[in-house]
Amino acid sequence: MEKIRQVSIFIFGLILCFVAPLVAQETEDDFFNDEVFLMEEDEGITVTASPETTQQMKTLTKEEIGRAHAPDLAVLLQETLGLGITRYGPYGNQTDINLRGFDSERIAFLIDGVPVNSPMSGDFDLSMIDLNSVERVEVVYGGSDSKYNVSGSLGGVINIITVKKQEPGLRVSGSLSNTAALPGEYYKPGAGNQAPQWQDLVDAQNISLALGLGTEKTSWAAGLFANRAGNHFLFEDYYGRTLRREGNEVWDTGVSLSFVRELPDYTKLIAGGDFYYGDKNIPTSGFSSVAKEQKDFSTRQNLMLDMPRAFRDDLSTEASLTHAWHTRDYGASSHHGQHTITAINRWGWYPRDWITVRAGGDYRYSYLDSTEIGLYYRHDGGLYLTAEYQPVEQFLVIPSVKGIFGGGTVVPIPKLGLVWSPSAFLTIKNNYFRSFKLPDFEDLHWVGGGMHGNPDLKPEDGWGADLGAVYTLNDRLTIEAAGFTQWTADSIHWYASSGTWMPENVGEAIFFGLDSKLRFDIPFSLGAFEKIGVSLSYQFLLSYLLSYGYTYDSDKRIPYMPLHTAGASLTIPWKTESRQHGGSLIISGRYEGLRYADTANITKLKPYFLLNANVQQGIANNLSAFLIFRNILNQSYESFNDYYMPGLTITLGMNFKFDDSRRNTDRLTQH
């Protein structure tokens, strides 16, 4: 206990040292900084959420998503927000997001405010998202979310918003790209040295199209994407041999549709849906060319009603009904089909300027038909009550409690959030919360392949707290720091017993962390250049594994969670004399420290540093080109044990965009 006390003092001492100088810089006008404190209704639509949050939160805009040209959501979050990812290979392979020490099974993924985590496995296939159809991505850090009030958010919430009210007029956009991996001589086990495979220069292609059409009251949007990824690349194994990744080809495609209709009293009716199909070869191990065929099919339909004025001026409500169907086949003998129906209703009551009361609930029906699990269904959800109390202009208190039901369990999940804005530049946030997650169908009922589920599993449980500060000056300087600690118990882990793998509630751990970011713009006027953007980030995550007989003195880390992660980026934009055909250069680097691949901390994954460069240039009014170098230093590194990642890859592509909305808006204004 003495050691943990010293660590606690050290972490929060760092936070106080970081925040104290900022608190001292108060101004005469004390009020909340709305740009930091309040989440505005971006693009005119708030999808099933409270605009207020006391938690650390980052939002990626449509422009930032488009500028990244990431192949999937995982790469986007890693390169833009510095989130950790653990993946079994390139595009289309199993991928985990790491948020405050928790993996994808313990992060709540939402699409337009609706939970989409698999009831079978608890995770979410990140390759199913067409980034060209995404309007923004919101990442809420920390457990027991009170912004969306969904369950299972031990590490945080990632909300992917796809709907948008289109301006009157027509929009058409699209992109086409090719990704090349470096060819070279390599060794093939059993066949000896091999000549370079020049087809690796056209290893992966992506095509996407988007259409938007708006009138004064109605708008439609549609998106289409398709990918072919050979996933062939060279890497160096433990013996210094250069090998080539094979048997990991992926083909996939998807379509998305959305409709927004404005009704009286600012009410909006929102309908949307998507379809995804993937045909993937998944290697049976990191070094094997023997692949298992995996086919994914999913479809989702969603209907939402947004009423900022529900029958009277001081009431608002949001409601949604969603159906999702996902099937996954491994060859001809293993089939998994999932149906989910999710209903959400949230209310807001504004009796006074200084208080808002929010209440609502969610319900999900899950049905699973699986060759390895069988036929099972479950009802789960919860009811919540939240108050946003502002006793003085600079201070906000948000107590919240949600009652979760499911699997015969009813559990209260309390949270207390505090916000203090001592100046126009500084906002301080503080949270205390309980986190909770029900077991998944795999954990409870899996049978086959030397594995057996455990129907007696208890839910995962825990408590946490965080303290953060955001300092913004003249939109040119932003400093963020958030310190957190979180304890979790009854975490579910699989382990081998008498030759059979079974899950047990054996996981107990505690985390201490610090997440800090610095962003500033340097005025730089020289010809076509006007400024230089600099961004720095550092994450510290100290974890103690307290399972399997380990104690604090054992000093064991959670697998795949590095102690140190750091990032930096340099952005140099430019504009031509016509100011129509500008461009930018973004150079970014990411360092990820030593990680362990097992609970005994015996297998070590070496630290690695990734250096990337992203160049974009406008060619014509509606046409631009981009060139992206990823892993410029050609580092050979493992994201997951024995699963190596690509070295240097080069992506070359073109974007086109036709936007008639301005012309139509001007025409409507003239009339």
Q: Looking at the predicted structure, is the pLDDT value of residue 404 above 50? A: yes
**Residue 646 phi, psi (nearest 5):** -65, 150
The answer to whether 232 touches 203, Cβ cutoff 8 Å, is: yes
SS3 assignment, position 57: strand
Determine the pLDDT at residue 141: 93
Q: Looking at the predicted structure, is the pLDDT value of residue 17 above 90? A: no
Determine the pLDDT at residue 2: 41
Determine the pLDDT at residue 380: 93
The answer to whether 557 touches 568, Cβ cutoff 8 Å, is: no
Percentage of the chain exceeding pLDDT 70: 90
Q: Looking at the predicted structure, is the pLDDT value of residue 511 above 50? A: yes
CATH number of the CATH domain containing 189? 2.40.170.20
Highest mean pLDDT among 15-19, 584-588, 619-623: 584-588
d(Cα 338, Cα 340) in Å, to the nearest integer? 7
Determine the pLDDT at residue 579: 57
Residues 433-454: tens digit of each pLDDT:
999 999 999 999 999 888 999 9
d(Cα 227, Cα 293) in Å, to the nearest integer? 17
Residue found by looking up tokens 């986007």 in the block: 76
Determine the pLDDT at residue 6: 40
Residues 30-69: tens digit of each pLDDT:
333 333 222 334 444 455 566 668 889 999 999 999 999 9
Domain count, the chain: 1
Average pLDDT along the chain: 87
Residues 577-589: tens digit of each pLDDT:
655 678 999 999 9
End-to-end CA distance of the chain: 74
pLDDT band of 14, cuts 50, 70, 90:
very low
pLDDT band of 28, cuts 50, 70, 90:
very low
Residues 277-320: tens digit of each pLDDT:
999 998 888 787 778 899 999 999 999 999 999 988 999 999 99
Lowest mean pLDDT among 124-128, 159-163, 180-184, 663-667: 663-667
pLDDT greater at residue 29 or residue 379: 379
d(Cα 23, Cα 425) in Å, to the nearest integer? 10
Lowest mean pLDDT among 145-154, 460-469, 653-662: 145-154
Determine the pLDDT at residue 41: 42
Q: Looking at the predicted structure, is the pLDDT value of residue 180 above 50? A: yes
Give one DSSP letter per residue of 473-507, joined into a string. ETTTEEEEEEEEEEEEEEEEEEEEETTEEEEEEEE
Q: Looking at the predicted structure, is the pLDDT value of residue 479 above 60? A: yes
Mean pLDDT, range 394-417, rounded to an integer: 92
d(Cα 78, Cα 193) in Å, to the nearest integer? 35
d(Cα 346, Cα 661) in Å, to the nearest integer? 33
Containing domain of residue 296, as a range?
2-670
d(Cα 100, Cα 485) in Å, to the nearest integer? 9
